[in-house]
Amino acid sequence: MASATATAIEPLFVLLLLLPVALHLSPLMASEPVPATWPEQFHSVLFINRSGSLQKVDLWYDWPNGRNFNIIQHQLGVLSYDLEWDNGTSFYYTLPPFNHTCKVVHFDVGILRPNWLDGATFLGVKNVDNFLCNVWEKADFITYYEHVLTHTPVMWVFSSGMVAHVMTFEVGAVLDDPNWQAPVYCFTDKDGTSHLLEPSLHDLSHGRTLIRGIPNTAHA
């Protein structure tokens, strides 16, 4: 009889030991997740669908040097370059063998800071591209999907309808400095006039820029 009583008490004793731990963890488990801060430097390959127009983008983010670069391969088309600096200047250009084209635009904001997702609204958990993701919305402009386990971005959906699927995410990768130089024809025309233009709504609504087009999230 005594043995049976002892057996019954043991589970209760274990529960009493675990109760303080459970009480300590329950607020943490109930709290909403927060998106990971971006690494200060990374390289990511993105596949983008923009209303049926497909692109492969090499994204180079380099916060310490105040620069961001999107190298955009349009499906069966032109390879174009979107070079963004934290002083607000962006260069959109093509290189040989394509025609020499360049547009220089000045924005009132710099590139995104690493913690640009601070204050995003948590929408819940969703399975996306076969990954279980936490989901946030930022500034009614972008829905951001992040892998629950690795905190790596998986997909971005913009209010314009453009969807970016993250294929690779290499933390710490840096593009060599010579690659950040815009071509000389970005600075003057043959007649010596400047290419500098003011940004249009089309530029800001993500038609031109992948990173700078998110309002209220860039470093001023």
In a domain? residue 4: yes
Q: Is residue 102 domain-shared with residue 2, that is, in the same domain?
A: no
CA-based max dimension of the chain: 104
Report phi then psi at 82, rounded to 5: -125, 100
pLDDT for the residue 190? 55
In a domain? residue 214: no
Q: Is residue 12 domain-shared with residue 56, that is, in the same domain?
A: no
Q: Is residue 25 domain-shared with residue 84, that is, in the same domain?
A: no
Q: Is residue 108 domain-shared with residue 135, that is, in the same domain?
A: yes
Q: Is residue 194 domain-shared with residue 166, that is, in the same domain?
A: yes
* Residue 54, token pair as written in the block: 């497909």
In a domain? residue 22: yes
pLDDT for the residue 203? 45
Q: CA-to-CA distance for 51 and 96, rounded, in angstroms?
A: 28
In a domain? residue 220: no
- Neighbouring C-alpha atoms within 13 Å toward the C-beta of 29: 6
Confidence band of 26 (pLDDT split at 50, 70, 90) = very low
pLDDT for the residue 83? 97
In a domain? residue 218: no
In a domain? residue 216: no
Q: Is residue 193 domain-shared with residue 137, that is, in the same domain?
A: yes
pLDDT for the residue 16? 46
Pick the closest to residue 94 from 83, 105, 84, 85 (CA basis): 83
DSSP state at residue 109: S
Residues in CB range of 148: below 8 A, 6 or more apart = 33, 125, 131, 132, 133, 134
Report phi then psi at 63, rounded to 5: -65, -45
CA 119 to chain centre: 15
Confidence band of 31 (pLDDT split at 50, 70, 90) = confident
Q: Is residue 74 domain-shared with residue 164, that is, in the same domain?
A: yes
- Comparing 49-58, 62-71, 190-199, the range with the smallest average pLDDT is 190-199
Domain count along the chain: 2
Q: Is residue 195 domain-shared with residue 86, that is, in the same domain?
A: yes
* Residue 167, token pair as written in the block: 């294929």
Average pLDDT, the chain: 83
Q: Is residue 102 domain-shared with residue 199, that is, in the same domain?
A: yes
CATH, residue 159: 2.50.20.30
* Residue 171, token pair as written in the block: 């933390």
In a domain? residue 212: no
For residue 158, is pLDDT > 60?
A: yes
What count of other Cβ atoms lies within 10 Å of the Cβ of residue 95?
A: 14
> What residues make up the domain containing 68?
41-207
Contact of 128 with 145, CB cutoff 8 Å: yes
